[in-house]
Amino acid sequence: MEKSSPSEADRRIVIGKIGAPHGVKGEMKIIPMTDFPKRFDGMTHCYVDGKPVKIKSVRYQRKHVLMVFDGIETREAAATLTGVLVSVDRSEAMPLKDGEYYISDIIGLSVEEMDGTVLGTVTDVIRTGSNDVYVVSLPGRSEDVLVPALKKVVKELSIGDGRMVVLMPEVAE
* Domain layout of the chain by residue ranges: 10-90, 103-166
Determine the pLDDT at residue 10. Answer: 60
Reduced to 3 states, what is the DSSP secondary structure of residue 164?
Answer: strand
CA distance 156 to 167: 10
Q: What is the pLDDT of residues 138-163, one digit of tens each?
A: 888 888 989 999 999 999 999 889 99
Q: Which DSSP helix (H) or strand (E) runs through 26?
A: none
Q: Give 103-166's CATH code, choosing from 2.30.30.240, 2.130.10.10, 3.30.700.30, 1.10.150.130.
A: 2.30.30.240
Which CATH superfamily is 10-90 part of?
Answer: RimM (2.40.30.60)
Written in H, E and C, the secondary structure of 83-150 is CCEEEEEHHHCCCCCCCCCCHHHHCCCEEEECCCCEEEEEEEEEECCCCEEEEEECCCCCCEEEEECC
The residues, ordered by sequence, that sit 6+ positions from 149 with a Cβ below 8 Å of its Cβ are 125, 131, 132, 133, 134
Query: Is 5 or 98 the better-scoring residue by pLDDT?
Result: 98
